[in-house]
Chain A
């Protein structure tokens, strides 16, 4: 196990919004130029703080979507009903605005490209974001450790990073992306249509004997169902890393 790194206490810094990419009607990627950014590890997150004119502050945590190798820091945000921070970030923020950030944060839910275990990534909705950082990192670092993504979305239109995932999966470097669409499927869809369960994980994932590293991210009930299914299939608890969104994220 890696020792906890001593890196000094974190403070807030400013990033410049340089590009906004609409991934779906409700999900937007915010690309930032952060002059004082110290770099990050795939899977880490940042805190974003908004301050209103009257001094009221609200802060939320967002997973980093970009690879450590990328020039810009990118987060991907889903607009949630009544989410005071997320609705601003997805609906109001403009290129040229500044955003107050604290990070990178977290050392538990991270993956480095020099790891040798087969990789299983299981995402529910925008739980894809930190896993995308890992997939981009794996590709950018030229890693060939076999990796599988099982990605649960409501409909094909809701699949974030859809085109990029298809490109990466056809790169021939050992990465496969498997989708399940739980609410609506395009015509002729032959893939999964149900929620992730033990049978699906057994079909598409690695057997426990391969000692894979598993990362699971999504809403709390999704993450707990997947983690329990992996345990049921014989995977050891310490090999399953989870990140739960909770009910809002706001």
Chain B
């Protein structure tokens, strides 16, 4: 299966993010650290089949956000986003 078929919307990360943030994150605007494009998080692309969850820019595919989970911890990386506006 190619990567395209695994693609879902940023909406798919909403549940995990709701445990971290008190805002509804799918309507937060995210600026891509790669190409600078600004989209609502729900409009970017998510890949949730891997052990972690990855949000990628819908314009350039740059990794914006990564969530990895172990039994009792959640690690959130926002290194690929320039900023997030709530």
Binding site for B on A (CB under 8 A): 1-2, 4-11, 45, 47, 59, 61, 102-103, 105-109, 220-221, 224, 241-248
Contact = CB atoms under 8 A, between A and B. Distances in A.
Contacts of A241: 42
Contacts of B20: 9
A105 B15 contact: yes
Contacts of A61: 12, 15
Contacts of A248: 49
Pick the most buried of B11, B15, B27: most chain A CB atoms within 10 A of its CB: B11
A4 B11 contact: no
Contacts of A247: 1, 5-6, 49
A106 B11 contact: yes
B35 interface: no
Contacts of B25: 4
Interface in B39-86: 40-43, 48-49, 86
Contacts of B11: 45, 105-106, 108-109, 243
Contacts of A7: 22-24
Interface string B1-45: 100111111111011001111111111100000000000111100
A239 B72 CA distance: 40
B27 A109 contact: no
Counting chain A CB atoms within 10 Å of each CB, the highest count among B5, B7, B8, B19 belongs to B8
Contacts of B48: 246
Given A106-B24, A106-B26, A107-B24, A10 B19 contact: yes
Contacts of B43: 108, 242
B8 A246 contact: yes
Contact of A9 (B8, B14, B22, B27): B22
Contact of A106 (B19, B28, B42): B42
